[in-house]
Amino acid sequence: MIQARKWLRDAEHVVVLTGAGMSAESGIPTFRGPDGIWKQFRAEELATPQAFASRPNLVWEWYNWRRELIAKAEPHAGHQALAHMEACAPNFTLITQNVDGLEERVGIRNLVRLHGDIWETVCTRCGERRRNHDVPLSSMPPHCFCHPEALLRPGVVWYGEALPSSAWDRAVHAVEHADLLLVVGTSAVVYPASSLITLGIRHGAHTIEVNPQSTPLSNDMDLRLAGAASSILPSLASVFP
Ligand code: OAD
Sign of CA dihedral 50, 53, 55, 58: positive
- What gap in Å lies between CA 178 and CA 200, rounded to an integer? 7
Residue 18: pLDDT band by 50, 70, 90 thresholds? very high
Q: Answer yes or no: do 46 and 19 share one domain.
A: no
Q: Answer yes or no: do 168 and 110 share one domain.
A: yes
Q: Answer yes or no: do 184 and 233 share one domain.
A: yes
Centre of ligand 1 from the C-alpha of residue 234, in Å: 20
Residue 30: pLDDT band by 50, 70, 90 thresholds? very high
Measured by CA distance, the residue closest to atom 35 of ligand 1 is 31
Q: Answer yes or no: do 80 and 150 share one domain.
A: no
Active-site annotation holds for 173:
no
Measured by CA distance, the residue closest to atom 36 of ligand 1 is 31
pLDDT digits (tens, 9 = 90+) for 88-116: 999 999 999 999 999 999 999 999 999 99
In order of 24, 96, 207, the CA distances from 228 in angstroms are: 9, 17, 17
Would you state the pLDDT for residue 89?
98
Q: Answer yes or no: do 60 and 128 share one domain.
A: yes
Number of structural domains (the chain) is 2
pLDDT digits (tens, 9 = 90+) for 69-94: 999 999 999 999 999 999 999 999 99
Q: Answer yes or no: do 109 and 194 share one domain.
A: yes
Q: Answer yes or no: do 64 and 127 share one domain.
A: yes
Residue count (the chain): 241
Dihedral Cα 178, 180, 185, 190, nearest 10 deg: 40
Ligand 1: residues within 6 Å at CB? 19-21, 24-25, 30-33, 36, 43, 47, 97, 115, 157, 184-187, 190, 210-213, 215, 228-229
Catalytic, out of 13, 76, 79, 115: 115
Q: Answer yes or no: do 185 and 202 share one domain.
A: yes
Q: Answer yes or no: do 207 and 129 share one domain.
A: no
What is the percent of the chain with per-residue pLDDT over 90, rounded to a whole number? 87
- What gap in Å lies between CA 201 and CA 204, rounded to an integer? 5
Residue 141: pLDDT band by 50, 70, 90 thresholds? confident
